[in-house]
Structure formats: structure tokens, C-alpha cells
Amino acid sequence: MKKIRCALIGSGNIGTDLIYKIQRSPVLEPVWMVGIDPESEGLARARAMGLKATAAGVDGLLPYVREDNIQIAFDATSAYVHAENSRKLNELGVMMIDLTPAAIGPLCVPPVNLREHAEKVEMNVNMISCAGQATIPIVHAVSRIQSVAYGEIVASLASKSIGPGTRANLDEFTYTTSNAIEVVGGARKGKALAIINPAEPPMLMRNTISCLTDETPDEARITESVLAMIKEVQKYVPGYRLVNGPLFDGKRVTVFMEVAGLGDYLPKYAGNLDIMTAAATRTAEMFAEEILAGTIQLKPVEVAA
Amino acid sequence: MSEVNLKGRKVTVHDMCLRDGMHAKREQMSVAQMVQIASALDDAGVPYIQVTHGAGLGGNSLQHGFAPHSNEEYLSAVCSAVKRTKVSVLLLPGLGTMRELQSAYDCGARSVHVATHCTEADTSPQHIAYARKLGMDSTGFLMMAHLNTPEGLAQQGKLMESYGAQTVYITDSAGYMLPADVKARVSALRDVLRPETEIGFHGHHNMGMGIANSIAAIEAGAGRIDASVGGLGAGAGNTPLEAFVAVCERMGIETGCDLFKLMDMAEDIIFPLMEHIVRVDRSSLTLGFAGVYSTFLLHANRAAARFGIPARDILVELGRKKMIGGQEDMIIDTAMTMAKERGLLKDAATGAAS
């Protein structure tokens, strides 16, 4: 079967883990890895896994986009360079999946709104944050049954799974995730809390999702909706597991989740990174399926002067 | 008890009634109560007082409880009521943000404890730098310090100093440490920090060691001590300020506080507003003994009542799972898991006790 050819930008942990997930996909093929450090382990590994690699940043990839027929690019660099990367690749008709907090394009949580983005042929979609991917499906599972006045999530992350970029910019994580709980999750007000736990052996990612509904929650329907949503997420993150709940307390609904990673490149405890790469891969697959079926067509984005 | 002569040593005390004490009040304090307490502390010559939700800026949440007022409402009222004392706030990166710090500054806060778990100092550079930019008295606050070695804490403290912290605290959030533990940690910091960088100690009284640990910290070079009048704080409370000041007077340590005014304040204002007697009891002693975050106390008592699992069992399990400050959600989660194991609760996914 024909596959859609992809480029990965950023040769760190996320980019490297993406190679494994994309290689397994029936509709995607990883072709290029883009880095900025010729000595990086990620570039060497990408080459060893059969990808072409450049250490010259996105500019090193641009001349090959047409001849290698690259149609989808994943950006796992930083918010600061994403805008430029996206502009250059969009101009060539490459669709961008943004794993940075830049959020130029619409926010995407696959089981909630991916189909909508694919139908609109969005040329840049943003994957929010690890905590967003792990919790917003549950907020939505409640808000699709009853209106939610307030959604709050607590993400506990293993210290070893949090890189220097996130550490130095925790506020960005807080703002991005809180906003997405509202925009995608459907809560009128959202709040995100992050805890970094150094326990050894490293703890699996834990997420607690609490919603305050406007009216008394319909326990049976909300429980059914939450369990159905968990099954949807498990399709691309098999280690997404309900630990406790839904717990009902007046108008408060609380769900306690755990995320174990697949252990591709990243260790299992890094479920937070795994859920990002898995959601990004799922997003690319949906676009790829539509492109292959001929229902959508990617077009170069004209840039206003 | 001490071989070091501390006569004439100056120590800056920092009262925690209106921040850590919020935990002991389940975050329920009125603006009028805050103003009354702050004014009494000001009158007694306490140089610094901390005022926020118990979990600090951004603390109002389902996770940490909602106070009846915003931090801004409390801060504005207190800052305009006090004359000499400086008002500080607590900020935990991951919960509070720089926007909230700016807002607290605008209300009159001039000092901040930027708090991280004792191994995660590198989550604080933005916030410490921002506090310094605002001209605030900036402290790096290493919580649950018993979970890191003296050498490890020294490294973490050095990081905070490099971000701009003017003071680095050893924070015994679990009330677990003994005087020798405190001395080793403060000494390790003193060895690596610049001479002008101050060292602080924040104790909890869960093992009854608040005052002894604070004195040990001073002996090893600490110049700032957190305490609270009447011990109003999480767990068995903070180091009781009036008793600490009394000990200091006997030892010749200068705090600049009026002991009798603090004693009167504890008796007339703080004790009457306590909802439970803040003291070493079965649950709070368990926190200290097992090394669990003091704020977990009331949460564990509530989960115990709800799911039929003794609070002590829950707290010990939380200690075993190495849960840290901020993971209050894991208290209910742990209680539910234990209740399922004991056949007291059904599993939602299967409808059966698992």
C-alpha cells in the first residue's frame, strides 16, 4: 500500500521516538530527520534506521521536499523556531504537526476534534501538551454529556521524563494546557497543575481530572461516556488506564488515570512523552488516510507579503 | 544543649500563620481575620509575614481547596493594614505563574518564597528571575528536604542562587528531620553559597522538633527562620513562633520581636480560631515519622472517613509510594485503591470489587 512520506524536525527524544511509531504505521513512512547538531545521537540513529538526515535545520530539508514528496512534517523543536519552520514548509504544501507549545494552528486532541481538522484540511495543527493529551479526552467525555463550569487537571510526571525545555518554561505549560481544557475540553474555565516527582524507580505518569458540572451529574451516563472515551484513547495509547473513579461528589466528577508508555525509544514511565508522539502519529494517520483516499488534498499556503 | 555561643546573633523571623496556617483552617480565613492577625504581628515587630492560600499563588483549586477570597483580596487588605512588616507570598512553579506573582506585587507583596521539591530546583529559574526583576526579596525554597542529601541540596541551592535567589531555605515539609539532619544540610549549603546569600529553615513540629531544629539551623549558619504564632500551620503546625522567640531570648539570639505580645496573640487570637487543636497527635506524628508532606493530614483524615481506611494506613502508603507536595489527588486515589483491595469499594469499569 502507498504511504505518505514524512519529515521529523528535532532529533531529540520526541523526534527519535516518533521514528518508531511512524515506521509501524500502515499509512506513514519516515523519510527525513532534521537536526541542528551534526554530532547528535538522534541524527545518527535516524540514519541507522534508514532515514535521510540533515544537521542544517529546516533549510537543509527544503531542497528535497519536492523530490522526496514530503507531505507531512512533525515539529518537535521549540516554540521559538516553530513559526519559521511552519511557514517555510507550508509554502511547499507540507502539512505541519506541531509538538511545541507554539500553537499557531488549532489545538488537536485526536478523539475529540481530529476529524474536524482533517475535513477542514488544516495545514498546521498543535498537539497542546502531554498533560493536555492525557486529560482533555476525559474533560470532553464529561462535557459531551453535561455542561462543565470548571475543569481542573493535575499531571504528575516522573522527573526523569521532563527535559530542560519544559523545566525552564513551566508557565508556558500551565497556560497552554489550561486554555486547551476550555477550548477543546469544553469546560468554561480550565486550570492545569503539574507536579514533577523524582521517585526511583520513576513513577508512571498519573493524571487526575476533575470537572464541576452545572447540574447534578448523571452518574450512569457520565461513567459510560468516560469508559467509552478511554477505549478511544487506548486505540493509539494502549497504556492509557483508568485507576480509580469516576468518583461523584456533589457536582464534582473525578477520574484518576495512569499512562504507561509503549517503551519504543523512551522508557515506559515516560507515558507523558509517549502520549504526545502517539497522538501526533494518530493525527498524521488521519490526514494520510484522507489524502490516500483522495478526499482531501494538501495545498501550498500562500503567504501574504 | 548547644556548644555554639549564639549570643548576639541576629535572626530574621518570618511568620507563616496567614499562609501555612491556611492549611490548618482548610483555607477558610476571612479578610478580617487576616487583617487582625497581620496587624498583631506587625505590632509585635515580626519583620516578615507570608500571606496567601496555603498552596500559594494559584492555590485556589479543587486540588488544594478554594479559599473564600482571592490572593489579591487578602494581600491588598493586609498590605494596606501593616506598617513595618514586609508581606511575602509563596509560589510553586507548576501551580502559580509569573502573572500571579506580578499581581501579588501590584497588591503590595515585596518578598517571595519560590518553592520546588528538593531535587527540582531547575523548575524555578523564570520565577526567581522575575521576582528579582520586580525588586522583591527572593527566596528559593527547597521542600521535603529530608528526601535529598546535604550534598544534593547544596547543588540545588547553588542553582537557585544562580537564578538570583538571595536566600535559600531548607524546608522540612514533613517535620521529619532531627537536629543533626538540619545541621548537615545547612552546613552543606553554607559551604557552597556566596557569603552574602542567606540560609533559612522552615520547620514543622510533627516530631516536636520545630524549635530544636531551628536552633540547630542557626548554629550551622542559618539567618532566617520560618515559624507561626501558636504553631498555626499544616500537620502539627510550624515551629511555634512565640516559643521560638522565648528560646532565642534565653540564648541571647536577637529576633527584634516582642515576646509578651506574641504570647498574648497566640492565646487571644490564634488558639480561639483553630478548628482542631494543632498539635502532635496520631496522624501528624505519622507524617513526621513516615516523612509525608504535612498538608496531607486533613486530606487523609477526610479520605479515611469516606472510604473506611485508617488515615495512618493511607499516610504510610503515600510515604511508601514517595508522593510529594502537591500530589493531594493521590490521597483519594490511594484510599480508593486500598478500599478496593480490602473489598470495600467496587470498580467502576467492571462493576465488581477488584
At B296-335, the pLDDT tens digits run: 888 999 999 999 999 999 999 998 999 998 999 999 999 9
CA angle A289, A292, A294 (to 5 degrees): 110
Q: Is A246's CB within 8 Å of B348's CB?
A: yes
- Cβ distance B107 to B119 under 8 Å? no
- Ranking A161-165, A260-264, B20-24, B314-318 by mean pLDDT, the lowest is A161-165
Q: Three-state secondary structure along chain B?
A: CCCCCCCCCECEEEECCCCHHHHHCCCCCCHHHHHHHHHHHHHCCCCEEECCCCCCCCCCECCCECCCCCHHHHHHHHHHHCCCCEEEEEECECCECHHHHHHHHHCCCCEEEEEEECCCHHHCHHHHHHHHHCCCEEEEEEECHHHCCHHHHHHHHHHHHHHCCCEEEEECCCCCCCHHHHHHHHHHHHHHCCCCCEEEEECECCCCCHHHHHHHHHHCCCCEEEEEHHHCCCCCCECEHHHHHHHHHHHCCECCCCHHHHHHHHHHHHHHHCCCCCCCCHHHHHHHHHCCCCCHHHHHHHHHHHHCCCHHHHHHHHHHCCCCCCCCHHHHHHHHHHHHHCCCCCCCCCCCCC
Q: Is B330 on the interface with A (CB under 8 A)?
A: yes
ipTM of the complex: 0.91
Q: Which of B160, B329, B337 has the highest number of chain A CBs within 10 A, making it the mutation to test binding with A?
A: B329
Q: pLDDT (tens digit, 9 = 90+) per residue, A28-47?
A: 999 999 999 999 999 999 99
Please confirm whether the linkage preceding A246 is cis (ω < 30° from 0).
yes
Please tell me the least confidently modeled range out of A122-126, A293-297, B150-154. Answer: A293-297
Reported as a pLDDT band with limits 50, 70 and 90, residue B346 is: confident
**Mean pLDDT over residues B55-83, rounded?**
97
Q: Which residues contact A233 (CB under 8 A, 6 or more apart)?
A: A111, A137, A240
Kindly determine whether residue B117 and residue A227, on different chains, have CB atoms separated by under 8 Å.
no
Helix orientation angle between B296-307 and B311-320, rounded to the nearest 10 degrees: 120
Task: Yes or no: say if B269 and B26 are a contact pair by the CB < 8 Å rule.
Answer: no
Alpha carbon distance A151, A157 (integer Å): 19
Task: State the pLDDT at residue A266.
Answer: 85
pLDDT of residue A165: 78
Inter-chain touch A171–B126, beta carbons under 8 Å = yes
Chain A residue nearest residue B118, CA to CA: A198
- Check if the beta carbon of residue B139 is closer than 8 Å to that of residue B168: yes
CB distance A123 to A301 below 8 Å: yes
On the question of pLDDT at B347 being above 90, the answer is no
Question: Phi/psi of residue A58, each to 5°?
Answer: -60, -35
Amino acid (1-letter code) at residue B228: S
CB neighbour class for B224 (10 Å; exposed up to 12, middle 13-18, buried from 19): buried
Chain A interface, Cβ < 8 Å to B: 150, 152, 154, 156, 159, 164, 167-171, 173-175, 191, 193-199, 203, 206, 208, 210, 212, 223, 227, 242-247, 252, 254, 256
Query: Is the model's pLDDT at B2 over the cut of 70?
Result: no
pLDDT tens-digit readout, A272-292 = 999 999 999 999 999 999 999
Average pLDDT, chain A: 94
Contact call for residues B181 and B155 (beta carbons, < 8 A): no
Asked if the bond preceding A201 is cis, omega within 30° of 0, the reply is yes
CB contact under 8 A, A197 and B323: yes
Residue B310 is predicted with a pLDDT of 94
pLDDT at B111: 98
Whether A244 shows a pLDDT value over 70: the answer reads yes
Could you read off the pLDDT of A135-180 as tens digits, one per residue?
999 999 999 999 999 999 999 999 998 888 788 888 988 999 999 9
pLDDT at residue B19 above 90? yes
Strands A205-213 and A252-259: antiparallel
Q: What is the mean pLDDT of residues A223-232?
A: 97
Q: With 70 as the cut, is the pLDDT of residue A305 above it?
A: no
Residue B61 has pLDDT above 70, yes or no: yes
B48-69: average pLDDT:
97
Number of Cβ within 10 Å of residue B135's Cβ equals: 9
**Cβ–Cβ under 8 Å, residues B171 and B133:** no
**DSSP assignments along A205-250, one per residue:** EEEEEEEEESS---HHHHHHHHHHHHHHHHTT-TTEEEEEEEEEET
Residues of chain B contacting A198 with CB distance shorter than 8 Å:
117, 119-120, 147, 324
- Smallest CA-to-CA distance from B17 within B4, B33, B1 is with B33
CA dist., res. B176 & res. B154, Å (int): 19
Report pLDDT for B353: 42
- Measured in degrees and rounded to the nearest 5, phi and psi for residue B10 equal -100, 135
Burial class (CB in 10 A: 0-12, 13-18, 19+), A220: exposed
pLDDT of residue B354: 39
Task: Decide if A193 and B62 are in contact by the 8 Å CB cutoff.
Answer: no
Helix residue spans in A49-169 (DSSP H): 57-61, 79-91, 110-119, 130-143, 164-168
Cβ-defined contact of B337 to A244 (cutoff 8 Å):
yes
Q: What is the mean pLDDT of chain B?
A: 95
Residue A113 has a pLDDT of: 95
Q: Closest residue of B to A189, CA-based?
A: B61
**In the prediction, which pLDDT does A109 show?**
97
Res A164: pLDDT: 83
Is B94 a residue whose pLDDT tops 70?
yes
DSSP state of A56: S
Whether the Cβ atoms of residue A150 and residue A218 lie closer than 8 Å to each other: no
How far is Cα B204 from Cα A169, in angstroms, rounded to an integer?
A: 31
Kindly state the cell numbers that stand for B96.
502559580
What SS3 class is residue A17?
Answer: helix
Res B135 pLDDT > 50: yes
pLDDT for residue A101: 84
